[in-house]
A = this chain, B = another copy of it.
Amino acid sequence: MRDTDAWVTGDNAALLTDLYELTMAQAYFDQGMADEAVFSLFVRRLPQTRNYLLACGLETVLDFLERLRFTDDAIAYLQEQGLFKDAFLDSLRRFRFTGDVYAVPEGTPVFENEPLLEVVAPITEGQIVETFVMNQIAFQTVLASKAARVVKAAAGRTVIDFGARRMHGADAAIKAARAFHVAGVNATSNVLAGRLFGVPIAGTMAHSFVESFDHETDAFRAFMASYPETVLLIDTYDTLAGVRKVVDIAKATGPDFKVRAVRLDSGDLVALSRECRAILDEAGLDHVGIFASGGLDEHKVAEIVAAQAPIDGFGVGTAMGVSEDAPALDIAYKLCAYAGEGRLKLSTGKPILPGRKQVFRRVEDGTAVGDTVGRDGEALAGRPLLQPVMRGGKRLDGMAPGLDAIREAAIQEQALLPEDISAIAPASPSYPVSISSKLSAYHAEVKARVGAKP
């Protein structure tokens, strides 16, 4: 097998699953077990450096569930493993996801133990999709949650995603750009994310361009010839000398000078931005902005903003692109009901809330004051966050909002968060999430029943 075929697509994504999902599926098949199961996707504990998570990835998951098929190629590979009987493989050929899905919309802030998504389906269907559903919701939520912090730190200044080169692979690169945009990032440098998702694309120039000319000034003039309204990268050799060259070009060019900004990519960004601002202003170039990049994260952006450095926008790469301080979540996708009965495991330190659930968010005077996780069907105070999005394997009408709508909703939902929760610093106490008395009682009941099993 050459890497030529080594891409995940809608055609082979059915195999993007842990082997045990398929071996368990065959065991269910062998036992004739096909009752309805409820699986719940939730985060057990937030990372220490996150006050909330921004749910993301649902669109990918719904699309996957609608398209899920085992192709002849997939069946042939499974057959080779010597683990599966023909009757089961035949059932996989006919496999479709026919279940219902309830989920919080993309862009919703969520907290620990709150279901982001619940799948209600024949147990085999809910089981087989586990790995893919977790993979996509987990990493897109990780990245959206990180980006929300950077956007918060930027306090209204432009933020552009420069992270594609250091993200974990091609799928991450495109979907992170989308997740970042949901979280409020203005644009991405990733062209394919623009093509596939309509994320606005942006870019400046690289050091290599400057280096390929004998003189920095020649590089600037050449780039301006192709893009009069461009952003010029000025730190290749000496930042202050670079900005002075821009000023000289502006003077020589006169009213045709339309360069929008200069970019700093190294050194003391606060000090350099002030010196560049002064040089530009002195030359009457107060309309030329200053854009900064180079090792930025939410803390460095916040420092720059707090210092009132004259920086108009930030290019943020690695730290946001991999969510460097918290690249993974303690996320779980757990069976919590089967054949009409609540289920849970009792494994040390890994609590599960049984049955179908709903999350209620109470908002007072425009601020979210607390959530309650209750049983499905309870009428508790607050707005229910989980919505039916798929029924019988088909996406419900109106449950495919466009990216702009998702982004707008994310901004509005985050605006409801208490100030200390949306802040970058760790909030103490954390956002209050309680369990309804009915759910607590049901948990105790199921636990007693399960614990009594020999």
Contacts and interface: CB of A to CB of B under 8 A. Distances in A.
A3 B454 contact: no
B8 A164 contact: no
A48 interface: no
Contacts of A21: 203, 206
Contacts of A338: 211-212
Interface in A303-345: 318-319, 321-324, 327-329, 331, 333-335, 338-339, 343-345
Given A7-B10, A135-B169, A347-B235, A454 B18 contact: no
A395 to B, nearest CB: 10
A411 to B, nearest CB: 22
A74 B191 CA distance: 10
A236 B347 contact: yes
A189 B16 contact: no
A192 interface: yes
Interface stretch (A59-67, A249-257, A378-386, A422-430): A59-67
A24 interface: yes
B174 A172 contact: no
A346 B2 contact: no
Contact of A212 (B83, B166, B343, B350): B343
B335 A211 contact: yes
A1 interface: yes
A134 B39 contact: no
A6 B225 contact: no
A72 to B, nearest CB: 13
Contact of A3 (B60, B230, B345): B60
A39 B37 CA distance: 54
A91 to B, nearest CB: 14
B349 A266 contact: yes
Identical copies in the complex: 2
A197 interface: yes
Interface stretch (A27-35, A284-292, A359-367): A27-35
A95 interface: no
B22 A170 contact: no
Nearest to A211: B343
A2 B212 contact: no
Interface stretch (A148-156, A214-222, A368-376, A434-442): A214-222
A358 interface: no
A350 B208 contact: no
Contacts of A17: 164, 190-192
Interface in A185-221: 189-192, 194-198, 201-212, 214-217
B135 A83 contact: no
Contacts of A15: 191-192, 195
A215 B167 contact: no
A420 interface: no
A123 B267 CA distance: 27
Contacts of A63: 2-4, 6
A113 interface: no
B162 A198 contact: no
A451 interface: yes
Given A2-B400, A16-B174, A453 B214 contact: yes
A265 interface: yes
A168 to B, nearest CB: 4
Contacts of A139: 166-169, 172
Interface in A68-115: 73-74, 77-78, 81, 83
A441 to B, nearest CB: 20
B166 A169 contact: no
B169 A19 contact: no
Nearest to A170: B8
Of A203, A211, A223, A345, most B-chain CB atoms within 10 Å: A211
Contacts of A198: 1
A172 to B, nearest CB: 4
Nearest to A166: B328
Task: Across the A-B interface, give the 10 residue pairs with the lowest CB-CB distance, nearest first.
Answer: A19-B203, A169-B171, A20-B203, A168-B168, A208-B335, A8-B170, A134-B165, A171-B171, A15-B192, A18-B189
Given A165-B333, A236-B346, A237-B453, 6 more contacts: A4-B10, A6-B174, A123-B212, A143-B168, A168-B171, A168-B327
